[in-house]
Structure 1
Amino acid sequence: MNRHAIYALTLSMLIGIGATSCTKYNEVDPPRTDQKSTDELPLPTHTISQLKALYKRGGTLIDKPIVISAVIASDDSEGNLYKSCYIEDETGGMELKFALGNLSSVYPQGTRVRLLCQGLQLGDYAGQINIGYTSKDEKYETAFYPELLVHRVLLKEGHTDIKPHELTIATLNKKYAGTLVSLKDIQFLASELGQTYADPQGKDKNRNVNRTLVDRSGAQLIVRTSSYAKFAGRTVPSGSGTITAILTYFRDTPQLLILREQDVQLTGARF
C-alpha cells in the first residue's frame, strides 16, 4: 500500500471517529438498562410473599441466592416517591429502598425485573416489610441500597402493561399492600376542598400531608403526599371519580400514595 493510500485510509478512519464523537457529544447517552434475555437471567426461586415470610424481628440479611421475578408498580417521576420503588407479583408487593434518584427513568412502571436478593436485608417499618441495605441506625432495620450497585441486583427482563387491582375502600386488604390499585366512585371530603395536596411552602416542617377521601357509604381513606412532589401545591379536585395509586399501610391504617397527578381522575359531579 503506497503512502497516499495509507493517508486516505487514515483520514477516513479519523472522519469516522470524529462523526461518532460528534454524535455522542450532541446526544444524551441513554441510561444504563442492563436488560438481558430471559435465558441469561437467573431463575426465580421465591415469590414476594415467600420472601417476606423470611423476615425476622430486627432485620434479616439474605445470605442465599434468592431471586424474585416481579414488575415495577411505581413511578417516581413526579417526586412523590424518593429513593424507593415498589415491585409486585401475583402474591403481593413490597418496597425496595434503593438510593437511585429518578429510578423510573431507568426502570419505568411496568418493567419486568429479576431482583437478586443475596446481600440485601429485609426490614419492617410500621408493620410493612421492605428490602434494602443493612442499617447502621438502630431506629431502622434497613437503609438505602447504594445507587451505583442497584443495576447489579435489579435486572431488567422486559416490559408489560401493568393493571391496577380494582378495589373499594371496603375491600382494601393488606394482601394488596405495595401494589398498584384503583378505586372508583370516591371524592375528597368537603372540608378538604380548596386545600392543596401537600405544603410545598412549608415542606421543611410538613414533609408529608394527609388528605381524606370518602365514598358513597361514608367510608374514608387517607391520601398521603410529599410536600416535595411536583403537584404538592396543586388544589385537590372537587369532583368524584377514580384514583389509581400505590396502596400502603401504616400499621393497620391504609393509605394511598399517588404517583402522578394525572392518575387522579375526579372529574364527575360530587355525590
Structure 2
Amino acid sequence: MKTIKYLAMTLVALLAVACQGDWDEPTLAYGDLNGNNNITDENIITIAQLKDKYPNVFASTDKAVKIEEDIKIKGRVSGNDIGSNIYKQFFLQDETGSIIISVNQSGMHAFLAEGQEIIVDLKNLWIGGYRKEPQIGSKYGSGVGRMNKEVFQQHFKYVGTPDVTKIDTLKFASVADFMKLDKNKNCGQLVQIGGIEFKDVEGLGTFAPDSTKDHTVTIKGGCVSRELKGYTANQIVVRTSTYAKFAAWKLPKTKGTIVGMATRFVSGSTDTWQIMIRKESDINFPEE
C-alpha cells in the first residue's frame, strides 16, 4: 500500500510540473486562487463612476493614488492571457466601461475565464494610468504596477460561472467608425472592427516575428505594432506579443474582422489606439 501511495504522490507532482507552462487549460499551480468569500455586494459602483472619481490620475501618464474609500466594482472578464498576448493583467468590463487589473501572475485565464463575473474590493488598492490607460494594482514608483497574487486573493470574489454571452462587445463596420470612439471613456473595452486591412509588408510578414531578421518590423518590449492601410502608426496599430499563439501567423492580405481589447498608449502629443487580439478565434479573414 505504501508503494502505491508514493507512486500516486509522485504522479501528482509530475503532473503539476508538466502543466506549469500550459496556456490552454487550468492548472494545479493556480488552484489556490479561490477569491475571498467574505466580500459583500455593498458599496458597488460602476467602472465609469470609479474613473470619474480620479480624473487627475488619468490626466498624467504615470501617476497613482491609493483608494481609501470602502468601494467595490463588479464586472465580467472581457480579456485575459489565454492567447499569450496579454501579460499579467486582465480586463474587467461592466455596462459603463472597462479597466485593467494588474496582477503579478501568469496563466490567469486558468482561474479568470472570459465571461467570469467578479466583485473587486478596491479599498487599499492603487488606481493609476499607465500612459493614460486606467489600471488597478499596487504602487510602483510614481505609478501603478502589478499587485502580488496574495493581495489579489483577498480583494476579489467570484460571482456565478463564466458566461461569454454577457460580455458587451462594441462593434464597428469599419476602422473609420471605430476611430470616432472616445478614448477617455472607452479605452480598455472589447471591440470588433470590420474592414481591417494591414499595410503591405515585404515578403511573408507575420503578426509578430520573434527575430529582427524580419526587417519590416521593429520589436519593442517584446511586441510588434502592425499598421493598417489608410492610417499612421500614431493613430492605430494592432499590437502583438512575440509570445502570442498567433504571432507566427502570416498577415492577411485581404480585408477582414478582428476582435480585441482597445487599449491606449500616450507618448508626448501622440495618443494611439492599440488593438490587442486575445486569441486565434478573434482573427477572421474569410478569403485567406
| TM-score range normalised by the length of the shorter chain | 0.7 to 0.9
1:98 is aligned to 103
1:118 is aligned to 123
1:195 is aligned to 205
The farther-off stretch of 116-125 and 229-238 is: 229-238
TM-score by length of 1: 0.79
1:132 is aligned to 137
The farther-off stretch of 191-200 and 98-107 is: 191-200
Deviations 1:215-265 (A, max 9, x none): xxx457310112232322322122322101001111332120011122111
- Given that residues 99 and 145 in structure 1 are in contact (C-alpha distance below 8 angstroms), is that contact kept between their aligned partners in structure 2? yes
1:50 is aligned to 49
CA change 1:257–1:103 in 2 (3 A) is: same
- For the residues of structure 2 that align with 1:202 and 1:117, how far apart are their CA atoms? 42
Aligned: 1:261 with 2:285: no
- Given that residues 71 and 87 in structure 1 are in contact (C-alpha distance below 8 angstroms), is that contact kept between their aligned partners in structure 2? yes
Aligned: 1:160 with 2:163: yes
CA change 1:54–1:192 in 2 (3 A) is: farther
1:31 is aligned to 31
- Given that residues 192 and 211 in structure 1 are in contact (C-alpha distance below 8 angstroms), is that contact kept between their aligned partners in structure 2? no
Correspondence for 1:232 among 233, 247, 255: 247
Shift of 1:163: 4.1
Structure 1 stretches lacking a partner, 5+ long: 1-13
Deviations 1:52-110 (A, max 9, x none): 12224432110122110111111202221111111111111111111111111110111
- For the residues of structure 1 that align with 2:71 and 2:147, how far apart are their CA atoms? 17
- For the residues of structure 1 that align with 2:115 and 2:51, how far apart are their CA atoms? 22
- Given that residues 92 and 100 in structure 2 are in contact (C-alpha distance below 8 angstroms), is that contact kept between their aligned partners in structure 1? yes
Query: Which has the larger Rg?
Result: 1
- For the residues of structure 2 that align with 1:75 and 1:193, how far apart are their CA atoms? 32
- Given that residues 184 and 242 in structure 1 are in contact (C-alpha distance below 8 angstroms), is that contact kept between their aligned partners in structure 2? yes
- Given that residues 36 and 155 in structure 2 are in contact (C-alpha distance below 8 angstroms), is that contact kept between their aligned partners in structure 1? no
Alignment of 1:6-21 (within 5 A): none
CA change 1:227–1:61 in 2 (3 A) is: same
Structure 2 stretches lacking a partner, 5+ long: 17-27, 58-62
How many residues align? The count is 247
- Given that residues 79 and 229 in structure 1 are in contact (C-alpha distance below 8 angstroms), is that contact kept between their aligned partners in structure 2? yes
Q: Percent of aligned pairs with the same residue?
A: 26
CA change 1:201–1:156 in 2 (3 A) is: same
Aligned: 1:147 with 2:140: no
